[in-house]
């Protein structure tokens, strides 16, 4: 997809990439390569969902990213400034996604069970109750 949806997905990736791994200069507050990879994976999921036009998927991926960022911040692995920037980017992206993406359409209902039409009478016969000459206004014998 292109347009706003593509820009939303690209913005998630670009901004999060800039903020990832930025510490406050203290080596103790740098995330590990594995942690950074996990964050990038979550960003990629959000980007893919946004590119597919999937609002629920985008929200879910960004919610997971938020939870991981908070956990890394709370453990001291991610600097508070970097975590705040990532959370801000995520919040802005969720707002943009809500404006540009539509919720997933519900699954279509299964078709109603088909009923077979009544069998036609064999050629040359009339259905019961509709014999010729027995209708209204006819005098019977």
Would you say residue 139 has pLDDT above 80? no
Tokens of 126: 């009339």
Q: Where are the domains positioned within the chain?
A: 4-100
Q: What is the pTM of this model?
A: 0.57
pLDDT (tens digit per residue) in 29-44: 678 889 889 988 998 8
Question: How large is the C-alpha radius of gyration of the chain?
Answer: 32
pLDDT (tens digit per residue) in 58-105: 999 999 999 999 999 999 888 889 899 989 988 888 888 888 876 656
Torsions phi, psi for 76 (to 5 deg): 90, 0
């Amino acid at each position: 997809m292109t347009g706003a949806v593509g820009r939303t997905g690209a913005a998630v990736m670009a901004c999060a990439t800039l903020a990832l791994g930025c510490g406050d200069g203290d080596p103790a507050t740098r995330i590990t390569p594995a942690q950074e990879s996990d964050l990038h994976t979550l960003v990629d999921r959000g980007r893919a969902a946004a590119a597919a036009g999937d609002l629920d998927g985008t929200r879910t991926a960004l919610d997971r990213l938020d939870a991981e960022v908070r956990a890394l911040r709370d453990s001291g692995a991610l600097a508070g400034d970097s975590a705040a920037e990532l959370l801000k980017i995520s919040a802005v992206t969720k707002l943009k996604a809500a404006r540009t993406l539509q919720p997933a359409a519900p699954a279509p209902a299964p078709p109603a069970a088909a009923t077979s039409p009544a069998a036609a009478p064999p050629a040359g016969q009339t259905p019961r109750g509709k014999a010729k000459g027995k209708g209204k206004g006819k005098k019977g014998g």
